Each structure stands twice: as structure tokens, then as C-alpha cells.
Amino acid sequence: MTQSGETVKVSDTRRCRESGRVLHILDEPAVSLNPGDSVTLELDWERRYAHMRMHTCLHLLCAVIPESVTGGGMTDQKGRLDFCLKDGLPDKQQLTDALNDLIAKDLPVSVEMLDESILDEQPELVKTMSVQPPRGAGQLRMIRVHETDFQPCGGTHVTRTGEIGPVRVARVESKGKQNKRVQIVFDRTTVKESEQ
């Protein structure tokens, strides 16, 4: 909400490489906004919570497929991770069942701050091949999904896996000789059935 009462939608945020400041990307130009204006930010909780649920589910996928992650992406509807998998494509139904088992266990998800030197001792904690967590702050934010997944992460998460709700592996595809892509969606059909 701007000073003139205009509401503008922030569709994305990026960190400016040069200035280090957070850029808010708008869907369309805000006519009334000028540099230095004050605005009131309102969190789109439904979208944020969907991101938290899907992102936490991607941690579970890391546990179900304990191989190096080569890429990923997420919206409030779906999420995907690419894995370095030498053998064939994993089975969609088996992955779906394994994820929903971990979700049904309602495992606690917690944040721990550890000395970043832990990565020198246990570099295998970083599951993403191309993205290393930022170093230099001394501390590292670690996310633990009870006895299931433990890795550095700066994302947003739910506090228990049960909050994710039913999911379905919608697609498993080959993206190169060793690169396999797994896409997850929220399983709305299951939700509807359970609500009846």
C-alpha cells in the first residue's frame, strides 16, 4: 500500500549484486511511487505458506533421493529438484508414497545455528552441487527434519511435516545422461477426498 492508497503486487524479490540491497519486483509499474516514499508491506500469507510447505517437501525429497542436487525451482503450486542419478528414472509412485509417508509422520522441522567450520569437516552436508551456502558470517543456518534431512538452508519452512499435506510426484524426466528431474505438486484430489 502506497501513500496515495494504491496497492501494488510484489511478485518477486532479488538481491542487487552491486548494492547488496533487496529489490522488490512489481507486476506492473506503480504510478504513484517515487524514490524515498514509504509503503506498507502486507504479507500474502496463503502464497508464503504454500512456499513453506512445498519448500519443506523438497527437503523430504532430498532424503528420499539421497544424491547430489544439480538444480531446483519452486512456485506456490509445484516444486522440482534435479538430481545427479546415474541409474534410470526413479519410480513416480514409489517417490510419491515415500514422501507422503514422511509427511504423515508429522516430523518436527527445526532451525540450528552452527559454526560454519562444520562444512570443512562435513562438506557432504551441502547437497546442492552448484550452490554453496554463503561463508564469512561465522554461523551457518541449518535445517533439521527429524532424523531425515539436515542441510544448510536460508529458505522458509513449516514446523512439522504434516503441515505440507498430501503431495504427488507429477513428473519424472531425464534431463541429460545423469541429470534427472523430479516435479512435485500438492495433491488436491486427496485433500478433497479426505474432506468429504
Q: Which is nearer to Zn ion, 143 or 184 (CB)?
A: 143
Instruction: Please state the closest distance from residue 58 (CB atom) to Zn ion, in A.
Output: 7
Instruction: Please state the closest distance from residue 4 (CB atom) to Zn ion, in A.
Output: 38
Cell of 135: 561463508
Q: Which is nearer to Zn ion, 127 or 168 (CB)?
A: 127
Instruction: Please state the closest distance from residue 25 (CB atom) to Zn ion, in A.
Output: 22
What is the binding site for Zn ion (CB under 5 A)?
143, 153, 155
Instruction: Please state the closest distance from residue 192 (CB atom) to Zn ion, in A.
Output: 28
Q: Which is nearer to Zn ion, 153 or 167 (CB)?
A: 153
Instruction: Please state the closest distance from residue 128 (CB atom) to Zn ion, in A.
Output: 11
Q: What is the DSSP string of the chain?
A: --TTS----EEEEEE-TTT-PEEEEESS--TT--TT--------HHHHHHHHHHHHHHHHHHHHS-S-EEEEEE-SSEEEEEEE-SSSPPPHHHHHHHHHHHHHTT-BEEEEEEETTHHHH-GGG--BSS-PPP-SSSEEEEEEETTTEEEE--S---SBGGGG--EEEEEEEE-SSSEEEEEEEE-HHHHHHHH-
Residue 178 contacts residue 154 (beta carbons within 8 Å): no
Cell of 95: 517417490
Q: Which is nearer to Zn ion, 73 or 155 (CB)?
A: 155
Chain residue at closest Cβ approach to Zn ion: 153
Residue with cell 524515498: 36
Cα separation, 184 vs 47, whole angstroms: 17
Instruction: Please state the closest distance from residue 1 (CB atom) to Zn ion, in A.
Output: 30
Q: Which is nearer to Zn ion, 61 or 95 (CB)?
A: 61
Q: Which is nearer to Zn ion, 155 or 176 (CB)?
A: 155
